Amino acid sequence: MLTVHHLNQSRSQRVLWALEELGVPYQIVRYQREKSMLAPESLKKVHPLGKSPVVEDEGLILAESGAILEYLQETYDPEQRFKPQETKQKRDYRFWLHYAEGSLMPVLLMKLVMNSLGKPPVPFGIRSVGKLLAKGVDKAFLKQQIENHARFIEGELAQKSWFAGNQLSMADIQMSFPVFALLARGGVENLPNLRAWKKRVEMRPAWQRAIVQGGPFDLPGS
Ligand SMILES: N[C@@H](CCC(=O)N[C@@H](CS)C(=O)NCC(=O)O)C(=O)O
CA of 33 to the centre of ligand 1 (A): 11
Nearest to 197 by CA among 217, 174, 172, 218: 172
pLDDT digits (tens, 9 = 90+) for 77-88: 999 999 999 999
Work out which ligand 1 atom sits closest to the CA atom of 100.
19
Number of Cβ atoms within 10 Å of the Cβ of 34: 10
| Sign of the Cα pseudo-torsion (147, 109, 89, 198, in order) | negative
Tell me the three state secondary structure of residue 108.
helix
Alpha helix ranges (H) inside the chain: 12-22, 65-76, 87-99, 105-116, 127-137, 143-156, 170-185, 192-203, 205-214
Nearest CA to ligand 1 atom 19: 65
pLDDT digits (tens, 9 = 90+) for 33-53: 998 889 999 999 999 999 999
pLDDT exceeds 80 at position 100: yes
Contact 134, 166 (CB under 8 A): no
Kindly list the strands in the beta sheet with 60-63, ordered across the sheet, starting from the edge strand earlier in the chain. Answer: 26-31, 2-7, 54-57, 60-63
Burial class (CB in 10 A: 0-12, 13-18, 19+), 198: middle
Which residue from 16, 51, 62 has its CB within 8 A of the most atoms of ligand 1, so it is best to mutate? 51
CB < 8 Å & 24+ apart, contacts of 215-220: 215/8, 215/9, 216/8, 216/9, 217/9, 217/13, 217/180, 218/9, 218/184, 219/9, 219/180, 219/181, 219/184, 219/185, 220/112, 220/184, 220/185
Q: What is the pLDDT of residue 222?
A: 45
Tell me the three state secondary structure of residue 15.
helix
CA of 88 to the centre of ligand 1 (A): 30
**Average pLDDT of the chain, as a whole number:** 95
pLDDT exceeds 90 at position 121: no
Is residue 10 in contact with ligand 1, taking CB distance under 6 Å? yes
| Cα 34 from Cα 62, distance rounded (Å) | 23
Q: For the chain, which residues make up each domain, given as ranges?
A: 2-76, 87-204
Provide the CATH number for the domain formed by 2-76 in this structure.
3.40.30.10
Model's pTM, two decimal places? 0.95
Q: What is the pLDDT of residue 220?
A: 67
DSSP state of 126: G
167-176, 179-188, 212-221: the lowest-pLDDT one: 212-221
Nearest CA to ligand 1 atom 20: 64
Contact 1, 211 (CB under 8 A): no
Nearest CA to ligand 1 atom 2: 64
State the architecture of 87-204 in CATH terms. Up-down Bundle (1.20)
pLDDT exceeds 70 at position 119: yes
State the pLDDT confidence band at 123, using cuts at 50, 70 and 90. Answer: confident
